[in-house]
Structure 1
Amino acid sequence: MLTKNPKIPDSAGPRLLADIGGTNARFALETTNHRFEAITVLPCNAYPDLQAAITAYLAREEVKALCQQAVQHAAIAIANPVEGDVISMTNHHWAFSIEALRQACGFQNLVVVNDFTALAMALPHLAEHEKLQVGGGQAQAQRAIGLIGPGTGLGVSGIIPSGSHWIPLCSEGGHVSFSPADDTEIEILRYARKEYAHVSAERLISGMGLEIMYRALSHMDQISNPEDMNAADITRLALDGSCPVCVRTVEYFCAMLGTIAGNLAMTLGATGGVYIGGGIVPRLGEFFNTSAFRQRFEAKGRFATYLAQVPTFLITAEYPAFLGVSAILTERLSVVADSAAHLIDA
């Protein structure tokens, strides 16, 4: 899909944007270009389906005050593969037909895309204060850009330039085979293989990966009965330094992420930079900045000099997916308008 970002016609009225995860549904109205208002986070479990959540959002007083007419255009980013018309969420019970949802909500146009496709399309629109460079390097203009984001899983994507447009990549790069970089990581891999025949990057560089690594490192330290901790506990105790095993777990997490991000940069030739999203890394703060992430990103032998020139950025924008779905919706409406114009001319 190609994307450009002309101004939103004032006559179109506010556009509904949404970012749907397994836990929360985030909504906003885009009233003018990249101006997101009435931002609201609704718990998915509070609604029987997505239509009910959309209806509840549109019924809010602050939303109705911004809408002088019914919303005509909407775009949804969802943490799920988007293939065809029917969406069945893998991490929540919601399932729906895109076309049926469009009709039920009365939208003229409804676009539904994968959340990492939306996040990738947000990258060219991030302001300087919405990203933080980690390490050195200088982005080259009009070159491929990589995206990686550990959270519940490990999202991977990127964008390729095509003239004044960007083409997003639909990738399952999080499921590539994990490759250890030292003896400790070899032992972590051996431990994980007791549970999984195929240990992907996502198995270790994700929330569940933090938990697996914590158990593996506890086993290696011969801790007979390690505490049963989830990813949030491990991260919290690592940041306050109160648990040495948790500290080592998060240190290895950051280093492993550096290796995979470097692989992505090499695979895409992403001299436009590699961006880090997802729910975990932004919470690490200075721990991540001083970690081995950047060192491991560049640790590619003969290509270390090449990677030293590729910048890495942490996405700090609070709702970056809105930027991406806005760009995608704008392109879709542009295509629709061009098609209508051709029909009139014919």
Structure 2
Amino acid sequence: MKNEHGHFLKGEKVVLAGDIGGTKTHLGLYAIDAGGPRTLEVVTYPSRDVAGLEEMIRDILARRETTIVAACFGIACPVVGGACRPTNLNWSVSEDRLRRIFGWRQVEILNDLATTAIAAPRLASNVLTTLNPGQPQNGGNMALVAPGTGLGQALLLPELKGYRPVASEGGHADFAPNNTAELELWRFLHQRFGHVSVERVLSGQGLVNIFDWLCSSAGQAPSPAVRRAMATEDPAAVITRHAMDGDDSLCSDALQRFCRIFGAVAGNLALTGMATGGVYLGGGIPPKILPALKKAAFMEGFIAKGRFHDFMTAIPVQVIREDRAALMGAAQRAYELAT
């Protein structure tokens, strides 16, 4: 409730949500409406410039006079027993510590793929792009595969009031080559890293690793234009740009192979989780390579499961183009805790 000056009155009950990454953290305050959480304010912080999550929480709470009745945070790292150490950040987070410092009764820490998974079935159609319409089964399991800085995977299992997210560290599972060329890629990466996880080929750095292998196998250095751009820009972004522009054959080949592996990995998770309700592609990369994903390579990799070809063809596949899906999922979960 606001007073006559438009300020929120002390004691207004809201929920707090967060999406914590190694580079940026988004925190949001949400009103508790009958239909779900309603955004009041979202603030973005540079994660590496603060001492911990508590510092950012104090800042956003100082902006409004509110009473936090529940909080949920999605964090890009494994969460065990309500505690974690965010990847690439020199601080830790725990539910017990947040309860103790802020006096909250309802607080939950989840993997960021779990919060994205919570949001996925609730996203509006205008922030989704369909790669395969399929034949979705009502009440079927769903899956989420999200390549970005790393690779996240999650399942969504139906329950009485919607879906329960099941986070995983499947990005660190073994990369399984599907043809002779991918076997050579595996050998190249095995010599470089030892263990070759899926994340080594399906992430921003994974695209660079595929490009490096192609340069090595072709016995040639990157083109002068690509080499100059890589000296000052993110190499994955350079490869993507030249591939999308169609002006560098090695970049184009790297992105096409990336898309086929992406399809195969998404198909593997769909099979493992019996995701007859559909597969969502999240993370930072898919929206940036949509034209490439719409070509044949992705779906070829997705449905190439031998005797299960027809089964895979019936599974819907959609790309999430909402960059705050993880925050929206955390807000939804905080709302559920509050109500």
Same fold (TM over 0.5): yes
State the alpha-carbon separation in 2 of the partners of residues 214 and 109 from structure 1: 46
Q: Tell me the CA shift for residue 315 of structure 1.
A: 0.8
Quick one: which of 177, 189, 198 aligns to 2:195?
198
Alpha-carbon distance, 1:272 to partner: 0.2
For 1:309, the aligned partner's letter is A
Report runs of 4+ in structure 1 exceeding 6 Å deviation: none
The 1:160/1:83 distance shift into structure 2, 3 A limit, reads same
Counterpart amino acid of 2:281? Answer: I
Corresponding residue for 1:29?
A: 29
**CA distance in structure 1 between the aligned counterparts of 2:39 and 2:287, rounded to whole angstroms:** 22
Q: Which residue of 2 aligns with 1:167?
A: 164
Which residue of 1 is the match for residue 4 of structure 2?
A: none
Residue 56 (1) aligns with residue 59 (2): yes
Aligned AA (1:245):
L
Contact 2:131–2:294 (8 Å) recurs in 1: yes
Partner of 1:184: 181
- The alignment status of 1:315 with 2:315, answered yes or no, reads no
Normalized against structure 2, the TM-score is what? 0.87
Task: Give the number of aligned pairs.
Answer: 318
User: Is residue 2:68 matched to residue 1:71?
Assistant: yes
C-alpha separation in 1, matches of 2:82 and 2:173: 28
Aligned 8 A contact 1:251 1:291 in 2: no
Equivalent residue number for residue 141 of structure 1: 138
Match of residue 294 from structure 1 = 299
Name the counterpart of 1:236.
Answer: 241
* Distance in 1 between residues matched to 2:37 and 2:131, nearest whole Å: 26
Instruction: Assess, with a 3 A threshold, how the Cα gap between structure 1 residues 37 and 295 changes in structure 2: closer, same or farther.
Output: farther
Between 1:215-224 and 1:89-98, the stretch displaced more is: 89-98
In the aligned structure 1, how far is the partner of 2:174 from the partner of 2:307?
22
The residue aligned with 1:6 is none
Please list the CA deviations of residues 103-132 of structure 1 after superposition, one character each: whole Å capped at 9, or x if unmatched.
Answer: 323434221111111111212211222211
How far apart in 2 are the matches of 1:224 and 1:239?
20
Pair 1:83-2:80 in alignment: yes
Out of 277, 280, 283, the residue aligned to residue 288 of structure 2 is 283
TM-score (norm 1): 0.86
On the 8 A contact 2:75/2:111 being kept in 1, the answer is yes
Residues 1:221 and 2:218 aligned together: yes
What CA deviation, in whole Å up to 9, does each residue of 1:197-255 have, x standing for no partner?
22111110011211111110001111157745622222222222232211111111111
Offset, 1:29 = 1.5
Contact 1:14 1:29 in 2 (8 A): yes
Deviates more, 1:306-315 or 1:83-92: 83-92
Q: Unpaired segments of 5 or more residues in structure 1?
A: 1-10, 335-346
The 3 A distance-change label for structure 1 pair 53 and 164 is closer
SS in structure 2 at match of 1:71:
strand
Choose 226-235 or 183-192, whichever is displaced more: 226-235
State the alpha-carbon separation in 1 of the partners of residues 82 and 167 from structure 2.
17
One-letter identity of the residue aligned with 1:244: S
Q: Does 1:14 align with 2:14?
A: yes
Contact 2:132 2:315 in 1 (8 A): no
RMSD: 2.0
The answer for unaligned runs of 5 or more in structure 2 is 1-10
Q: Tell me whether 1:260 sits opposite 2:265 in the alignment.
A: yes
Structure 1: distance between partners of 2:93 and 2:266: 34
